[in-house]
């Protein structure tokens, strides 16, 4: 290890916070990139990018809230130019599985001239415990569109482990890791697993994409709802209904099962009403 810090862009987010914590546990020099950091990073303020990158040789990069947001890919392209000029030697990008705009973001990183690792992730298990679906789970329902489409949902801790390996070990540059859980599950099966873990009834409620939009808009506004509904329409069509071996290729082990996530999260009290 060197004294050059690893920049974690999105260090307060679902994956970034875990990547930062795991790097810290390893004693790696770390720079947290967020709007509230000592050296702030803000995607909306390009003037913050160069100071955050200064002295860093590696970076874990996520775009908040998603690469599908209008202007996100252009901002990522501008960021990679600043990163290349700063001397960044390795960029690890979190991408989304089956998303057109995420693929465009991957192309930007590939064309940047910076050695890269791309982590293309399936749907996050932690959306149920930390995201906007936590409140419905507390209410005993899982309202999702897509019918009986199956998804190889992934534990974010696996994503973080892959990112940390890519940032701290040799052999990961130039790699694309498509990361999923070990099996396909419908949302009804996920609801059953959550019910078993929490010890209370949780029912999958099939809803339309229009109803999904209304639910998200109530929580985050129409603009956010437009983007996330577009992503849901795009990805919940069966295109992601297969597992991939990215976790095993990167880490030499199988990914964690959703039931293990649900059991652990329930034991930590994440679905207690006071959490």
Distances 185 to 67, 77, 191, 258 between C-alpha atoms, Å: 25, 35, 10, 9
Q: Within a domain: residue 133?
A: no
Q: Which domain holds residue 60?
A: 6-125+154-181+240-256
Q: Does pLDDT of 98 surpass 80? A: yes
- Dump pLDDT digits (tens) for 58-88: 999 999 888 988 899 999 999 999 999 999 9
Q: Within a domain: residue 212?
A: no
With cut-offs at 50, 70 and 90, classify the pLDDT of residue 275: very low
Write the CATH number for 80: 3.40.50.720
Q: Within a domain: residue 192?
A: no
Cβ 243 vs Cβ 180: under 8 Å: yes
Q: Within a domain: residue 97?
A: yes
- Dump pLDDT digits (tens) for 159-195: 999 999 999 999 999 999 999 999 999 999 999 999 9
Q: Within a domain: residue 95?
A: yes
Q: How many domains are contained in the chain?
A: 1
Specify the pLDDT at position 43.
97
pTM of the model: 0.95
CA terminus-to-terminus distance, the chain:
37
Q: Does pLDDT of 1 surpass 60? A: no
Q: Within a domain: residue 160?
A: yes
Q: Within a domain: residue 275?
A: no
With cut-offs at 50, 70 and 90, classify the pLDDT of residue 258: very high
Q: Closest by alpha carbon to 156, among 137, 172, 180? A: 180
**Residue 159 to residue 76: CA distance in whole angstroms:** 20
Distances 104 to 68, 111, 227, 236, 252 between C-alpha atoms, Å: 10, 11, 16, 19, 29
Q: Within a domain: residue 32?
A: yes
* Two structure tokens written together for 46: 């390009």
* 43-56 average pLDDT score: 98
Q: Closest by alpha carbon to 258, among 121, 124, 137? A: 124
């Amino acid at each position: 290890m060197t004294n050059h810090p690893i920049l974690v862009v999105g260090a307060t987010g679902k994956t970034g916070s875990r990547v930062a914590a795991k790097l810290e546990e390893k004693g790696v020099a770390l720079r947290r990139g967020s709007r509230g950091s000592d050296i702030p990073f803000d995607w909306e303020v390009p003037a913050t990018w160069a100071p955050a990158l200064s002295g860093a040789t590696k970076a874990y990069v996520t775009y908040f809230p998603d690469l599908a947001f209008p202007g996100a890919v252009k901002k990522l392209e501008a960021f990679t130019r600043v990163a290349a000029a700063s001397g960044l030697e390795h960029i690890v990008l979190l991408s989304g599985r089956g998303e057109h705009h995420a693929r465009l973001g991957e192309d930007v990183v590939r064309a940047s001239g910076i050695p890269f690792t791309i982590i293309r992730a399936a749907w996050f298990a932690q959306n149920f415990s930390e995201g906007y679906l936590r409140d419905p789970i507390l209410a005993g329902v899982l309202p999702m569109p897509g019918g009986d489409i199956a998804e190889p949902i992934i534990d974010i801790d696996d994503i973080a482990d892959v990112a940390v390996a890519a940032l701290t070990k040799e052999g990961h540059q130039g790699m694309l890791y498509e990361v999923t859980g070990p099996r396909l599950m419908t949302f009804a099966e996920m609801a059953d697993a959550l019910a078993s873990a929490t010890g209370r009834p949780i029912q999958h409620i099939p809803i339309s994409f229009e109803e999904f939009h209304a639910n998200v808009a109530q929580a985050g506004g129409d603009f956010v709802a437009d983007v996330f509904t577009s992503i849901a329409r795009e990805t919940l069509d069966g295109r992601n209904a297969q597992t991939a071996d990215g976790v095993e290729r990167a880490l030499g082990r199988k990914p964690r099962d959703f039931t293990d996530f649900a059991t652990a999260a329930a034991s930590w009290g994440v679905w207690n009403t006071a959490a």
